[in-house]
Amino acid sequence: MVFIKTIEFEKLRDNGYFLKNIVTDFQFWRNSSCWSTPVGGRINTAFLMALSRNVIYRPKGMDSVCVFPGDIILLPKGSEYECSFHKCDDPIELRHLGYPVGCLFLGFDLYDEDFENITFSGAPRVILSGRNSELVHRLEQICKLSARAECTPGVLSGEVSIFLSQLCTKYLMTLPGNNSSSVMDKISAYIYENFTDVNVSKLIEMSDMSASTLRRRFLSRYGRSPVAYINYVKIEKAKSLFESGIEKIKDVSALCGFEDEFYFSRLFVKLVGISPSAYVRMIKNSNK
């Protein structure tokens, strides 16, 4: 019998871990399609984000859980359930290969620093409700990235780790007694909307915090300093521009607010793991 250690999802950031066997998918479920876990339950830990379908989960011996567009459900390894997919009135529009995506799926095996297999405690449950464009975009990019032949396990693992950290942070902000998220949410939204010319001075003015307090808040919530987070958002935008069909590095660099094309390229390698030109080649090869 294989021993699996369980932890609370909110303790994820307090535990060192690494990921293996990452599986992602754009799921295209028809209305009223059904699926059941195999005997013994899920074979890996997974998260599913509903987009253009409502999903009803029926965990074994427990009440049903309904997942609406934008919600993210945690499916712990070993959990047993049935699920069915249904038409919804207010879908999130996301298309892949010309088809509307019903759900985004992310599965993986999780191990701690002692190489013990770990999973999250409890039954399938909604971790985050509502429509968070940042998480939709990140999970979409992870699904696209994993489908590319040139994507290395290290790059994919890094992207999934960032997603899990963001998801855990946002989940912690929803727990009772935590009302400190509104200012940081506004700052994050401002950065995404004004990424070409945003600066730390503006963020300090918006937040009414000192530079040191703002830095502590960013490190606590995002695991990055304000400058590093701004650069991360710019590179995420750059990846989207490359995927939209723009191939010239100089053009994308300028559109993302970089005056120095070579600095942009170095930063891209640091955050993505490959050069901008290699990223463009990877996109071309995946579209053949």
The predicted structure's pLDDT at residue 197? 86
CA distance 272 to 145: 11
CA distance 79 to 48: 14
Residues in the chain with pLDDT values less than 50: 1
The predicted structure's pLDDT at residue 85? 92
Q: How far is CA 62 from CA 26, 58, 122, 128, 187, in A?
A: 28, 7, 11, 20, 39
Q: Which of 125, 134, 19 is nearest to 72 (CA)?
A: 125
* Side chain identity at residue 116, one-letter code: E
The predicted structure's pLDDT at residue 138? 87
Residue 127, phi then psi, degrees to nearest 5: -85, -40
Distance, C-alpha 204 to centroid of its chain? 27
* Beta-strand relationship, 5-7 and 117-120: parallel
| DSSP codes, 151-204 | --HHHHHHHHHHHHHHHHHHHHHHSTT---HHHHHHHHHHHHHSTTT--HHHHH
